[in-house]
Amino acid sequence: MSATATRVLVLNSGSSSVKYQLLDMGAEPDGGSATGTRLAVGLVERIGEESSRLVHTPLAAGGETRETEGAMADHEAALKAVAAELAADGLGLDSPELAAIGHRVVHGGLKFTAPTVIDDAVLAEIERLVPVAPLHNPANITGIRTARALRPDLPQVAVFDTAFHTTMPEHAARYAIDVATADAHRIRRYGFHGTSHAYVSRKTAELLGKDPSEVNVIVLHLGNGASASAVAGGRCVDTSMGLTPLEGLVMGTRSGDIDPAVTFHLKRVAGMSTDEIDALLNKKSGLVGLCGDNDMREIRRRIDEGDERARLAFDIYIHRLKKYIGAYSAVLGKVDAVAFTAGVGENAAPVREAAVAGLEEMGLAVDATLNAVRSGEPRLISPDYARVAVAVVPTDEELEIAQQTYALVNA
């Protein structure tokens, strides 16, 4: 790697989309640590359709967003279009300043406990995990293959959503099912959103002026997908998502926790197929299943108008959240902070207020004035007297991927 190579391209490849960010990880002029400057951000969607769309914003070059529409047959066409946009801004993939490409990979199983430089063996192992992540890993693999073909000489790093959770003890990671069956099919709780839980738990410690090893944090990542984690001294000891991202909290379109016998019932009594049940629980449940909307802004607007279905959906969402705060307080024993993050966690003050309401005996409280502040910065929203800090900590998964990638290629 060239001494001047300080840029990292972060790729998040979905089945029909690619999100990307180009960051400069160069050290601060005063010699401080790399904080990452965004040079360009963008998104390609509807890959494989006639109406593929690329939205590109060259932040370094003035910030004018450009949109391109037109068929992009596959990920290769999409990445080539992204490369052309970056090149037009003088940020091309052939630049000697590009140090590495960091790929978000959803499932790393038990083997990948840290970011990993991708070679053929690593790619084969990610492919071996497709049966446990059939919706996610294939798209990630396509993104990796395409990027490697474009720049075969460049280090490419896989950063796994599951890695942060590999520290979970066996008693938290195992389901109480027949061990031989579980092991034969690699059924256990892996957890997801790990890059976000890692970043937010570390930032929360920073906000408290402590080292991550000194604090216990409950992280509530509430986006369209949602998960909670219990982080003790910087290590994850429990998380709410399981074999797949379906378990745990009520989400935008996913049910979260459910009696597994509901699925037998849907099969035997309602006559639904496995695929139909999968779609019901992953895409037509959660907030959208309960009230028809999965956007918390719309749900709050409806509640303000007196809509009972929206109210009930909100109450079910909050009830589950509270149960996890209680459960993880018990798992951790001592809690220093509860951190809210992602779209809902960062923006929906009523969710934060309701999730903590009535938990004063557990040392938790929210100050109404602080909770109402809108800001992109990490901040405390608990009153001074509260024993447990309640914080809003904006997540930044791309920056975390870039930092981990850059650190690895410079190691």
* Residues near ligand ADP (CB under 6 A): 223-225, 252, 294-297, 342-344, 347-348
Which one-letter amino acid corresponds to residue 383? P
Closer residue to ligand ADP (CB): 278 or 295: 295
Phi, psi of 366 (to 5 degrees): -120, 135
Please give the structure tokens belonging to residue 307.
């809509």
- The distance of Cα 53 from the centroid of its chain, to the nearest Å, equals 23
Eight-class DSSP state of 316: H
- Closest Cα partner for 10 from 100, 83, 79, 88? 100
Closer residue to ligand ADP (CB): 232 or 296: 296
In 10 A of CB 354, how many CB atoms? Answer: 18
Q: List the end-to-end C-alpha distance of the chain, in Å, as a whole number.
A: 11
How far apart are CB 357 and ligand ADP at their closest, in Å? 18
How far apart are CB 395 and ligand ADP at their closest, in Å? 8
How far apart are CB 296 and ligand ADP at their closest, in Å? 4
> Token pair 């790093």 is at which residue?
157
Closer residue to ligand ADP (CB): 294 or 405: 294
How far apart are CB 241 and ligand ADP at their closest, in Å? 12
Closer residue to ligand ADP (CB): 126 or 296: 296
Closer residue to ligand ADP (CB): 223 or 233: 223
- The helix/strand/coil state of 332 is helix
> Do 383 and 353 contact (CB within 8 A), yes or no?
no
How far apart are CB 225 and ligand ADP at their closest, in Å? 4
> Rounded to the nearest 10 degrees, what angle do helices 120-128 and 137-150 cross at?
160
Element (H, E) at 148: helix 137-150
161 noted as active-site residue = yes
Q: What is the CA radius of gyration of the chain?
A: 22
Closer residue to ligand ADP (CB): 166 or 294: 294
> Do 143 and 18 contact (CB within 8 A), yes or no?
yes
Query: Catalytic: which of 89, 161, 238, 307?
Result: 161
Q: Which residue is nearest to ligand ADP (CB)?
A: 343
How far apart are CB 389 and ligand ADP at their closest, in Å? 22
Query: Which residues are marked as active site?
Result: 161
